[in-house]
Structure 1
Amino acid sequence: MMKWRHGLLFPLILAICLGGLSAWLGRISEVDIEEVELNPNEPQYAMSGIDGKRFDEQGRLKENLNAKAAWQLPKSNEVTFEKPQLVLYDNGKLLYKVESNKAGYNTENRTVTFKENVILTKTAEAERPAGILKTSNLIVDTQTKIAETKAPVEYRYGESYGTANGLVYDYNKGFLNLPSRVKAIIYDPKNI
């Protein structure tokens, strides 16, 4: 009868020891995560020497954004850039380049707001002349390929040039709309 008690006692003690060891290991392996509220006025991320590229479905370069520095504040959808340059391509061909002193890229709607000394350069194509535009701010929608501003602009489009208050340029339609206070010299490229 004595043998039977010891035979039952060993598995019982072993089960209690293993249960205690399991509980102790579970307790020491718990990680306490302390959430720290970030300062909303200090960048959550900061980078320097930025050169980002996006490619189309065929692997051709679609967008190239480079900048001297970039940062993002906590709980913000906007990445701020210092000395940015955005170059957009279509089917691997250069469409236009936009550069400025500062810019903000909205990560949700993929628009870039260029600020301070904005220069947009459009390359010449078979049916469309080269162009250059200067303004104080410009919003570029990278999805629709529309650039717009309400600020005063100076532009040259082929041999035509002038000034206006505001503009909307739709690349897909090849349409430049100057909504107000336009002073321009316009040349028809077919008659030159």
Structure 2
Amino acid sequence: MKHWGSALFPLTLLGALAALTFWLRYATELPEIRHDGKHRHDPDFIVSDATLRKIGPSGTLAYTLKAAEIHHYPDDGSSDLIKPDLVYLSAKGPTITTKADTAHASDDNERVDLYGNVRIERSATKKDPATVGTMAELTVFPNDEKAFTRSPVRITQGESWVTGTGLQMDYRMQTYVLESKARALLESRHAKK
């Protein structure tokens, strides 16, 4: 009389090896490489001397974006801008202008990263001179009217100046928060009378 246990072990081992072979075939198979150019990061169009305008909910001009060139990339929908110049027009407050050497905008334009000689200028008001901020890079969220940087910053207003590292800005609230290493020289407006 034969024992089924001794015959079952080789069959089980053979089944396990067959399953392992099929698994290895599919695990090591390389995906098919497509050569249609769909996943290349090449611009599908380039616009020179561009001007874009956004109209706000009330029908008034919210902001204007000018650039020497805009390169749009179809693989991720992003855009690169050369010499961007972004102007916020606010009915409630002063105009804010942001300029840089280059910028990268996300596909939905919710985030714009500015690089090189970034300059932000809030126009003068009846009671305050213009405020100018300079930094190496800046991330702007245009629809939220907020921005931040982790780079060193210098802000001037008339004869007064403030320097530091890292900055959080809220254009609507007109608040500017330096994150660290803040130094300042503040001129008294009353001393010049």
State the TM-score, normalizing by the size of structure 1.
0.72
Residues of 1 paired with 2:90 and 2:190: CA distance?
26
Q: Secondary structure at the match of 2:136?
A: strand
After TM superposition, the structure 1 stretch with the greater mean CA deviation from structure 2, 137-146 or 35-44, is 35-44
Q: CA deviation at 1:126?
A: 5.0
CA distances 1:86-115 after superposition (whole Å, capped 9, x unpaired):
011123975200111100122325222110
Q: What CA distance in whole angstroms lies between the structure 2 residues aligned with 1:125 and 1:93? A: 9
Which amino acid counterpart does residue 147 of structure 1 have in structure 2?
Answer: A
Letter in 1 for 2:82: E
Give me the whole-angstrom Cα distance separating, in 2, the residues matched to 1:107 and 1:133.
27
- 1:126-152 per-position Cα deviation (integer Å, ceiling 9, x unaligned): 566521011110111112211210001
Question: Which residue is 1:166 aligned to?
Answer: 166
Deviation for aligned residue 1:36: 3.6
What 5-or-longer segments of structure 1 have no aligned partner? 1-34
Instruction: Kindly indicate whether the alpha-carbon contact (under 8 Å) linking 1:38 and 1:44 is maintained by their aligned counterparts in 2.
Output: no
Structure 2 unaligned segments of length 5 or more: list them. Answer: 1-34
Give the structure 2 partner of residue 95 of structure 1: 95
Measured after TM superposition, the shift of residue 175 of structure 1 is: 1.5
* 107 and 190 in structure 1: CA distance in 2 versus 1, 3 angstrom threshold: farther
Partner of 1:156: 156
- Determine the structure 1 residue equivalent to 2:186: 186
2:176 aligned partner: 176
1:37 is paired with a residue of what secondary structure?
coil
Distance 1:84 1:111, change over 3 A: same
1:27-69 C-alpha deviation (Å, 9 max, x unpaired): xxxxxxxx94336132122211111111123332111111111
> Which one is further off, 123-132 or 42-51?
123-132
Conserved? CA contact 1:62–1:92, under 8 Å: no
- CA distance in 2 between partners of 1:104 and 1:150 (Å): 17
- Counterpart-to-counterpart distance in 1, 2:74 and 2:107: 13
Moved more, 72-81 or 85-94: 85-94
In the alignment, which residue of structure 1 is the partner of 2:55? 55
Which letter does structure 2 place at the counterpart of 1:136? A
| Amino acid across the alignment from 1:180 | S
Letter in 2 for 1:79: S
Tell me what 1:26 maps to. Answer: none
2:131 equivalent in structure 1: 131
Greater shift, 92-101 or 143-152, is seen at 92-101
Taking structure 2 as the reference length, what is the TM-score of the superposition?
0.72
Larger radius of gyration: 1
Q: In structure 1, how many angstroms separate the alpha carbons of the residues matched to 2:129 and 2:53? A: 26
